Structure 1
Amino acid sequence: MTLFAASRVGGRYEHSEFPPTADILKKASQKGADQIWEGRPKWRAEELHRAAHRGHIRLEVTALDVNAAFLAALKVWLPIGRLVHSDGGVHDPRRSGVYLVSPGVWGVVDLPSPLGGRRELGRLWITEPTLRLLLRCARLGLCDEPVIHESWTSGASEGLLEKMRRALVEVRKEAIANSDDVVNEYVKSMYSKFVSTVGESTANRDIRRPDWMHIIRSQAFANLWLKAYKAHTAGLTVVEMSGTDELHVAGDWQQVFPEGRDLTQVKAKSIYTLGE
């Protein structure tokens, strides 16, 4: 939080640190959850796995690891001030927050839904990154546009965390170049704890923005989905996708993704044969 405060000196916007919390962002109990769906992926190509199990196909699959997923997700549109309620179905790209939507039917069998592992039908509360991703998928012809019923939003900026993100990226890059695992793990701990405590946490008394927490997490999941879509359009077979950083593909992935430890690169965690 000290680094975040330093990064905001001279910032264009004065963000709210303890705005009133909308009811949908309040936990139902101390150990319970609020009403926001982040779109965490847990998907695999079921038809492909069934065909492999029956011996019809064999695929060499590489499990790819996306580097520093939450650090990359700090580049995200965040609400600046308190969230204001609105009825109606218009998305304003200059604002950010959470939205009650009815999503379109997802009928693409060889790509995961941007809503992640959700099985329930009907309305749900989603965050800005998930909504933007659904709208993008609609423009690509992958699904119908979601219907927005109501929202809690504020004027937004993509730069609130940018200076902090860049500082952490540079220190991480230097640590990797020097094979300094201690500094690298310290950087990872810093951005991970920022994301996990920026919401409702007794470990962080400097800010309470559960909307930021959900939005950052959702951005990490949206970034992973975009990598799956990039693999799919490049001719790779998407086999599985889960968590914030795991993408399994079949095909020459090195022609699609650069290999390495930078934020724009990926690493191969393991290789296995599907259908063996």
Structure 2
Amino acid sequence: MAMSTEDTLRLTVAAIMQLTRERQTDVGAGTGLSQLQISRKQSGRTSWTLGDVDALSAHWGIPVLDLLAGPTRATAELPADRIATAGTQTAVPLPGTPPGPPPAAPHGTERTAAPAPTAEAPSPAPTEPPPPLPLPPAASSTEPGQTSPQAPAARAVPHRPAPAGPLTDRIRTAVEHRLADANGDIDAARATLIKHAIPDVMTLFAASRVGGRYEHTEFPPTQDILQKRSQKGADQIWEGRPKWRSTEIHQAARAGHIHLGVTTLDINGAYLAALKTWLPIGRLTHTETGAHDPKRAGVHRITPPDWTLTDLPSPLGARQEPGPLWITEPTLRLLLRCARQGLCDAPVIHESWTSGASEGLLEKMRRALADTRKTAIETGDDLTLDYIKAMYSKFVSTIGESTANREIRRPDWMHIIRSQAFANLWMKANKAHTAGLTVVEMSGTDELHIAGEWQSVFAQGRDLSQVKPKYTYTLGKDEA
């Protein structure tokens, strides 16, 4: 089901408030509403009326029809003199975050729970469209050091430096609010953050698309090849998931002919890195030209080339069945790349379902998640790390056909992102192979078994561009 007009309006209001750096009290003063009324309308507890829309239109100088057309159109029509050009951006919290909690206390200090807000002193904070999950109880705003007689003192909360940028601020704010709600109980905050990861990441995605060059389609018609055959069944798309081990090396090891030290490398944030991929923007259209257009993306039915290399896995992954099959854009591009490098023949393309494409549809969101992840690693913030992982992994797993995510249905995107993760892993295996290392095994999205001085090829660490060793083992018997 597509987003309703009222939900779209709530997202538009939040986007404009972010550009103008207004608080709910500012918008209320300009529209004749109280901060509490603005908060209730933005949280979905009450509805925006046509009279409210007229008032918002007059307040921001945006025509009514443009205001109702969505955040991209509305922000484009916002008068230039209303856009804030200096100062600190006011963070718009992710859905479900309570208005105005106190900031996290520095490490080693004690923060106490805040007293309940009063009607005379509301805590204004912009809100986003409500998530499908129930909103948590509201937390109030107070100065650090104040104590509520009804609430016990909170546990000390580790200091979380605020990464620069509005999207990263949203993530940081969500973590701080959930931690405040839990009175510093990290386990309780983690459970709540993970529970709300799907609506939070969808709001983050929507915010990242405000002002974007392209308007993507959220609910295009689903082609038969992308529809599941049963509730627990699969569709016809092959993602290229690898499950490969070098037969020759393992046979030689069992026979005692080789003695090989192997390191298992873990690829960091495989699905997060895979968000940078060519995605179809609109509805898919059918072609039978047999040619690949690099400006388009989708799924393709091909006859794959023979793969004769025994020391490097096939880009098609663990596929064993012969004959034509449906593959995704990253797998096709990888096969074409292998053909250009002389590793195999080019695949034969029989038909395609594609749309005009962009490699940047998810890039702003990916960068915000990656930057916040990097800061969390540097500061030892495991809570934020778990939250980020839940957001990007659940984004990938629910954007297809999932009852857990009602805001988008793009099974083509889901398959493409997963395939991009597998393609990225293959390219790392090929990089090691080209450098003279021995590829022993490759499986899943993030596991690569290498023999040789892998540190000369890959940087070690937890960044997305780095790898980390999981364990080492030895193949073969000592010849002594």
Given the two structures, how large is their TM-score scaled by the length of structure 2? 0.57
| Cα distance in structure 2, aligned partners of 1:220 and 1:265 | 15
Q: Establish whether residue 134 from structure 1 lines up as the match of residue 134 from structure 2.
A: no
Q: Could you say which residue in structure 2 is the equivalent of 1:156?
A: 357
Specify the code of the residue in structure 2 equivalent to 1:197: T
Alignment deviations for residues 72-117 of structure 1 (CA, whole Å, 9 cap, x no partner): 0000000000000111210000000000000110000000000000
Q: Could you say which structure has the greater relative contact order, defined with CA pairs below 8 angstroms and 6 or more residues apart?
A: 1
Q: Establish whether residue 46 from structure 1 lines up as the match of residue 268 from structure 2.
A: no
Specify which of 374, 388, 406 is matched with residue 173 of structure 1: 374
Residue 271 of structure 1 aligns to a residue whose secondary structure is strand
| Cα distance in structure 1, aligned partners of 2:470 and 2:302 | 36
Q: Could you say which residue in structure 1 is the equivalent of 2:311?
A: 110
Q: Establish whether residue 203 from structure 1 lines up as the match of residue 399 from structure 2.
A: no
| Cα distance in structure 2, aligned partners of 1:13 and 1:117 | 36
> 4+ runs of 1 displaced by more than 4 Å?
none
Q: Could you say which residue in structure 1 is the equivalent of 2:265?
A: 64
| Cα distance in structure 1, aligned partners of 2:232 and 2:289 | 32
Q: Could you say which residue in structure 2 is the equivalent of 1:125?
A: 326
Specify the code of the residue in structure 2 equivalent to 1:93: P
Specify which of 258, 271, 275 is matched with residue 459 of structure 2: 258
Q: Establish whether residue 91 from structure 1 lines up as the match of residue 288 from structure 2.
A: no
| Cα distance in structure 1, aligned partners of 2:271 and 2:284 | 23
Alignment deviations for residues 171-203 of structure 1 (CA, whole Å, 9 cap, x no partner): 100100011111101100000000000000000
| Cα distance in structure 1, aligned partners of 2:247 and 2:390 | 35
Q: Could you say which residue in structure 2 is the equivalent of 1:20?
A: 221
| Cα distance in structure 1, aligned partners of 2:440 and 2:386 | 30
Q: Could you say which residue in structure 1 is the equivalent of 2:468?
A: 267
Residue 90 of structure 1 aligns to a residue whose secondary structure is coil
Structure 2 unaligned segments of length 5 or more: list them. Answer: 1-201
Specify the code of the residue in structure 2 equivalent to 1:211: D
Alignment deviations for residues 111-153 of structure 1 (CA, whole Å, 9 cap, x no partner): 0000000100100000000000000000111110000000000
**Greater fraction helix:** 2
| Cα distance in structure 2, aligned partners of 1:181 and 1:158 | 30
Specify the code of the residue in structure 1 equivalent to 2:363: E
Please report how far the alpha carbon of residue 11 of structure 1 lies from its aligned counterpart in structure 2 after TM superposition.
0.3
Alignment deviations for residues 22-65 of structure 1 (CA, whole Å, 9 cap, x no partner): 00000001110000000000000001100000000010000000
Residue 249 of structure 1 aligns to a residue whose secondary structure is strand
Specify the code of the residue in structure 2 equivalent to 1:154: S
| Cα distance in structure 1, aligned partners of 2:372 and 2:474 | 37
| Cα distance in structure 2, aligned partners of 1:153 and 1:39 | 19
Q: Could you say which residue in structure 1 is the equivalent of 2:395?
A: 194
Q: Percent identity?
A: 76
**Greater fraction strand:** 1
Q: Establish whether residue 240 from structure 1 lines up as the match of residue 432 from structure 2.
A: no
